[in-house]
Amino acid sequence: MTTVEERSTMPQERESNPAANAADRPIGYGRIQRKEDPRFVRGKGRYLDDIVLPGMLHGAILRSPMAHARLVSIDTTEALAHPKVHAVITGKDLEGLNLAWAPTLSADTMAVLATDKVRFQGQEVAFVVAEDRYSARDALELIDVEYEELPVVIDARRALEPGTAVIRDDKEGKTDNHIFDWEAGDKAETDAVFARAAVVVSEEVVYPRVHPAPMETCGAIADYDPIDGKLTLYETTQAPHAHRTLYAMVAGIPEHKIRIIAGDIGGGFGNKVGIYPGYVCAVVGSIVTGKPVKWVEDRSENLMSTSFARDYIMKGEVAATKDGKILAVRTHVLADHGAFNATAQPTKYPAGFFSIFTGSYDLEAAHCSVTGVYTNKAPGGVAYACSFRVTEAVYLVERMVDVLAQKLEMDPAELRLKNFIRPEQFPYKNKTGWEYDSGDYEPALRMCMEQIGYADLRREQEEKRARGELMGIGVSFFTETVGAGPRKHMDIVGLGMADGAEVRVHPTGKAVVRLSVQTQGQGHETTFAQIVAEELGIPPEDIEVVHGDTDQTPFGLGTYGSRSTPVSGGAVALAARKVRDKAKAIAAAMLETRPEDLDWEKGRFFVKGDPSAAKTIQEVALGAHGTVALPDGIDGNLDAEVTYDPPNLTFPFGAYICVVDIDPGTGKVKVRRFVAVDDCGTRINPMIVEGQIHGGLADGVGMALMEFIGFDEQGNCLGGSFMDYLIPTAMEVPDWETGYTVTPSPHHPIGAKGIGESATVGSPPAVVNAVVDALAPFGVTHMDMPCTPARVWEAMQGRPTPPI
C-alpha cells in the first residue's frame, strides 16, 4: 500500500522537533536528535588518529612515482640508519612471510608491497616504522629505489589491443589485460526487438573515475601481543567482521586471536570496505617491532591509491516506438578495474548489480554485457555510495531516456510517466532477473513535478531560450536494488551476506543491542535504538547500541550498498520480536494467565478485556531475571539473537528534478534548484533519512559538475589532491527541497528499504540531463561528466568530448 504525504521543507514547517520536551519524544520511529551528537559537537569523537597507545610507533609508505615500471633495486640502508627508525619493510621481507601478495575481494590478487613491478602511480613499495609521524616521512626520503620504466596502459579502450603491455604478468600464462566478460538478459530476444523497433537511439556514455574521498582518510593501528598471540587492530573499516575473517585466512592468525575495533569513522562511502596494504603493513610492523604501529594515509595517498569508483565506458541503446513506448535497452560496457581486480562485490556479480539498468520501466527485452580490463591505475571500482554499480546503471538508463525524449521531441517527464512499471505489476520481474519488491512510481514523479512547478519552469525556459539564455531542467527517476543479500545468491569471498544482531534487556528494563554493521556517520546508534524502541516500547535513550568491536558483536558483513537498515535492521527487529515473545510468556506467568490471553500495546502487556491487569516491559525484565516461576522452556533473561538472511533485495526509488542556469560566456553551470522525492519504505528517523538524501544530492552535483580522477599519458594521476579533485562546497549546492512517499517493502520485517545511497545514485543524471537540456539549442544530445566550465564550453562549440 502506498501513502503519499506532502512534505514542505520550510524550516518552520518541518516535522516538529520534540526533543525540548522529553515527554513528547517518540518511543520508536520519528524525528529525535541523534544519540551520537553530544560527543561529536564537543570534539569528543574517537576517530582512528585520535587513539594513542603506549609505546606506539608510526608507519609511512613509500609509493611509486611511476605508473608501470620494473623494480630493479631498493636500498634501505640509509633509512635504517635514521636514529628514529625502527624498521623498514619491503616486498622482499613480506615474501618471506608469504604476505607480499594478498587475495582481493574479487578472486584476484594484489600486491601488498611491490616485488616485481609497480603497476600504478602511488602503489606501495616500502613501509617505514619510526618513532613519530614526521621522522617516518623523513625516512621515506632516504630510501633509494631504481625503476625501469615500462609502457603504460591508461585508456581502457586500448587495453585489449594486441601488442599492449601486459600489466599482470605475475599471473601465470597471462598474455593480455582481460579480466572478465559477464552478461545478463536475453541477447537474441533483445536484438530482435531492436531490429523491428521504429526508433533506436544510441550514445557512448562515460561514467568517469571518481573517488569517495571521505573527510577522514584511511588508517589502522596494529597492536600485536606476542605473549598471548592476540592481534588488536584498530581500523577505519566499514566491515569489521569480514576483515577479521580475511586476516585470519590470509595472515594465518587464528580468528579468535584477532580483534578488530572500528571507532568513530569520519565518512566511508565505500572507501573503507577493502583491506589496504597499509593495514597489513601496520600488522607486520607491530609483529616485527613488538610495539603498536599506527599508519594513517595522507589525502594524496587516499585519492591516488584507495578504492576509486565507476570508470565505466558504456555504449547505451534504447529501442522504442514512434510514440514513445520504450521496448528494450541494451548496452556493452568496458569496465576499467585498474591494476588489480579488487572491487568489493558479491562473488557472482563481477559487474555488481549493473544489470538493473532496465531502470523503472516496463520493457519487452534487455541485454547487457560487461568486459572488465586491467589498466595502470589504482584498483577498486565499487565505492562512493554506488549500491554495487546501480549508480552506473541508473545514470545510463536515465541519460538514455532523455536522449530518446530529445529525439522524439517529447517531454522527458511525460516519456517516463508513459513507461513506468505500474503499481499492480509489483512484485515485478524485470528482464535481467531482478524481482522488484514494491513500487508506485507515478505519484512520486508527479509530486516532484508539482513541488518544483514543472510546467511553469518549462514556460520560463522557453522565454529564456528566446532571449538566448541557457536554462535547463533535468528529470531523473531511479530504482535502486539494495540490502544485499540472500545468501543463496550473494556472498563475498564465500561469506554469505547476512548480518547478526543481539538484543538484551537488562533487569531494570534498559537494553543493549549489538550490531555487526558499522556506522560511518549514518547515525546507527540512533536508528537501531529506535527500531528496538518501536518493537519493545523501551525509550531509545534507554537503549545502548554497541558496534565496531568484533569481540563484542555478532558476525555480519558490514555497512555498504545501503544494507544496514535492510539487513541489520531486519535482524534487530526480529531479535526484538523474539524478546517480545519471550516477555509475553513471562508476563503471562506474572499475571497468572495464558500468553494467548494477553494483548500488547507498545511497552506493556495487558489481559484482554482488563487493561488494568498489565505488566510493562520493564516489570517483565525484572521478573525474567527475578524469582518469577518461569514457564517451561523459558530461561531467565530477555535476550535474543538473530542472523537475518534477507529473502530478497529491497528496491527504494525516487524522482529528482534539477534546474540549472549556464553562463553562456563562461560555460559555468549553476544549480538553481533541486527537488528530491524519495521512497525508502518505512522511515525510521525522518531527520536522518533526509540527511542521508542531502549528502547524496551533494555527491551528485559534485560528480556531475566537478569531481574527476583523470590521468595523463604517462599514468600520472591528475586528481591526487583537493586542489585538483574538486568537491562541492556550500557555494556549489542549492538548498535541497525534499518530499517523500512511503511504499513499504512487503518482505522486510519493518518495511524499510534503505536510503544511504539513493541520492548519490539518482542525482547525477538529473544534473547532467539539466545541463544537456540547457545546451539543446546547440544541438547537444549528450555530454559526459564532469560538466566543468571548459567542457561545457566545448560542448557549446559542438565538440562535447569524453573525459577519458
Partner 1 sequence: MQVTMTVNGTEVTRDVEPRLLLVHFLRDTLRLTGTHWGCDTSNCGTCVVLVDGEPVKSCTALAAMTDGHDVRTVEGMARNGTLDPVQQGFMEEHGLQCGFCTPGMMLTARALLDRNPDPDEGEIREAISGQICRCTGYATIVRSVQWAAAHPAAATTEQEVTT
CB 271 to ligand FES: min, Å: 13
Residue type, 766: A
Interface with ligand FES, residue 790, by CB under 6 A: no
Interface with partner 1, residue 722, by CB under 8 A: yes
Binding residue count for ligand FES, defined by CB under 6 A: 3
Among 285, 359, 379, 523, binds partner 1 (CB under 8 A): 523
Rounded to whole angstroms, the Cα distance separating 801 from 751 reads 44
User: Among 389-397, 455-463, 688-696, 709-717, which window interacts with partner 1 (CB under 8 A)?
Assistant: 688-696
Instruction: Identify residues 516-575 at the interface with ligand FES (CB under 6 A).
Output: 521
Among 142, 239, 529, 688, binds partner 1 (CB under 8 A): 688
Among 173, 627, 730, 797, binds partner 1 (CB under 8 A): 730
Interface with ligand FES, residue 270, by CB under 6 A: no
CB 527 to ligand FES: min, Å: 16
Instruction: Identify residues 133-172 at the interface with partner 1 (CB under 8 A).
Output: 133-134
Closest CA to 347 of 180, 170, 481, 168: 180
Rounded to whole angstroms, the Cα distance separating 21 from 527 reads 20
Q: Nearest 5°: CA angle at 655, between 782 and 561?
A: 90
- Sheet strands (E) in 508-652: 511-515, 543-546, 598-601, 604-607, 610-616, 638-644
**Residue 455 site contact among ligand FES, partner 1, none (CB < 5 to 8 Å, cut-off depends on kind):** none
Helices (H), 14-154: 37-41, 77-81, 91-96, 133-140
CB 215 to ligand FES: min, Å: 4
Instruction: Identify residues 99-118 at the interface with ligand FES (CB under 6 A).
Output: none
Closest CA to 505 of 623, 394, 585: 623
DSSP string, 165-226: PPTTTTSTT--S-EEEEEEEE-HHHHHHHHHH-SEEEEEEEEE--B----SS--EEEEEEET
Comparing CB distances to partner 1, the nearer of 166 and 727 is 727
Interface with ligand FES, residue 37, by CB under 6 A: no
Among 177, 371, 375, 522, binds partner 1 (CB under 8 A): 522
**Residue 252 site contact among partner 1, ligand FES, none (CB < 5 to 8 Å, cut-off depends on kind):** none
Among 18, 267, 423, 710, binds ligand FES (CB under 6 A): 267
Comparing CB distances to ligand FES, the nearer of 36 and 108 is 36
- DSSP state for residue 630 in the 8-state scheme: P
In the block, cell 553562463 appears at 663
Contact assessment for residue 528 and residue 569, using Cβ atoms and an 8 Å cutoff: yes
Instruction: Identify residues 733-772 at the interface with partner 1 (CB under 8 A).
Output: 733, 735-736
233, containing H or E segment: strand 230-235
Comparing CB distances to partner 1, the nearer of 64 and 217 is 217
Comparing CB distances to ligand FES, the nearer of 267 and 453 is 267
CB 494 to partner 1: min, Å: 31
In the block, cell 525474567 appears at 624
**Residue 89 site contact among partner 1, ligand FES, none (CB < 5 to 8 Å, cut-off depends on kind):** none
**Residue 88 site contact among ligand FES, partner 1, none (CB < 5 to 8 Å, cut-off depends on kind):** none
CB 522 to partner 1: min, Å: 7
734 by Cβ neighbours in 10 Å (0-12 / 13-18 / 19+) ranks as middle
Binding residue count for partner 1, defined by CB under 8 A: 56
Interface with partner 1, residue 217, by CB under 8 A: yes
Torsion of CA 547, 553, 554, 556, to 10 degrees: 40
Interface with partner 1, residue 266, by CB under 8 A: yes
| C-alpha distance from residue 737 to each of 97, 113, 452, 462, 689 (Å) | 55, 47, 9, 24, 13
538 by Cβ neighbours in 10 Å (0-12 / 13-18 / 19+) ranks as buried
**Residue 117 site contact among partner 1, ligand FES, none (CB < 5 to 8 Å, cut-off depends on kind):** none
Rounded to whole angstroms, the Cα distance separating 291 from 86 reads 10
Comparing CB distances to partner 1, the nearer of 269 and 395 is 269
CB 767 to ligand FES: min, Å: 21
Locate 47 and state its grid cell. 576517530
Comparing CB distances to partner 1, the nearer of 81 and 215 is 215
Residue 16, phi-psi category: left (phi > 0), alpha (psi -120 to 50), beta (remainder): beta
- Sheet strands (E) in 597-732: 598-601, 604-607, 610-616, 638-644, 653-662, 669-679
Instruction: Identify residues 488-527 at the interface with ligand FES (CB under 6 A).
Output: 521
**Residue 36 site contact among partner 1, ligand FES, none (CB < 5 to 8 Å, cut-off depends on kind):** partner 1
Interface with partner 1, residue 799, by CB under 8 A: no
* Contact flags string 299-338 toward partner 1, x per CB under 8 A: xx--------------------------------------
> How far apart are the two ends of the chain, measured CA to CA in Å?
45
Interface with partner 1, residue 695, by CB under 8 A: yes
Comparing CB distances to partner 1, the nearer of 266 and 789 is 266
Contact assessment for residue 434 and residue 628, using Cβ atoms and an 8 Å cutoff: no
Interface with partner 1, residue 727, by CB under 8 A: yes
Question: Which residues share a beta bridge with 598?
Answer: 607
Among 19, 52, 215, 455, binds ligand FES (CB under 6 A): 215
User: Among 44-52, 88-96, 574-582, 615-623, which window interacts with partner 1 (CB under 8 A)?
Assistant: 44-52
Among 41, 72, 195, 466, binds partner 1 (CB under 8 A): 41
Comparing CB distances to partner 1, the nearer of 11 and 96 is 11
Give the distance from CA 330 to its chain's centroid. 25
Comparing CB distances to ligand FES, the nearer of 267 and 626 is 267
Interface with partner 1, residue 508, by CB under 8 A: no
Comparing CB distances to partner 1, the nearer of 300 and 516 is 300
User: Is the torsion defined by CA of 19, 21, 25, 31 positive or negative?
Assistant: negative
What residues have CB less than 8 Å from 255, skipping those under 6 apart? Answer: 244, 245, 248
Interface with partner 1, residue 216, by CB under 8 A: yes
CB 301 to ligand FES: min, Å: 14
- DSSP state for residue 473 in the 8-state scheme: E
Comparing CB distances to partner 1, the nearer of 268 and 485 is 268
Residue type, 650: T
What residues have CB less than 8 Å from 582, skipping those under 6 apart? Answer: 624, 634, 638, 640
Residue type, 231: L
Binding site for ligand FES (CB under 6 A): 215, 267, 521
Binding site for partner 1 (CB under 8 A): 11, 17, 19, 33-34, 36-38, 40-45, 47, 49-50, 52, 133-134, 213-217, 264-267, 269, 298-300, 520-523, 687-688, 690-691, 694-698, 721-723, 727, 729-731, 733, 735-736
